[in-house]
Amino acid sequence: MDKIVMSGMQFYGYHGVFPEENKLGQRYHVDVELHLPLDKPGQSDSIDDTINYAEAYEIIKQIVEGQVFKLIEALAEHIASRLLQTYTSINEITVRVLKPHPPVAMVFNGVTVEIHRKRA
């Protein structure tokens, strides 16, 4: 399956279990892989035959920066659901959300949640 990969998107959000996280916020990194046939836009060279990734970016930004979730699992699920609802040409989607500075007493590069969903 062909895919469009949007990687390294960064947003500022207020997600977390602890009240401090909801108050102070932090930067989140999001990657999405949109699995869909790309032969038609490859031949037509028309934006109407593919996913406008500028629009998809705005949808993701609205979710990450405009809503609050306790878990990054829920954040990833909402991103996947909204993109699948908006773009019916997407057959499958993978969403990765990295929380680089979780409030835990460990030294590491953060926590990443990755989900993969298929159109029913």
Contact by Cβ (8 Å): 114, 95: yes
The one catalytic residue in 3, 23, 99, 118 is 99
Active site residue 61: no
DSSP assignment string, 17-85:
SSHHHHHH-EEEEEEEEEE---HHHHHH--GGGS--HHHHHHHHHHHHHH---S-HHHHHHHHHHHHHH
Q: What angle do CA 59, 56, 92 make, to 5 degrees?
A: 110
Q: Distance from CA of residue 3 to its chain's centroid?
A: 15
Enumerate the active-site residues. 99
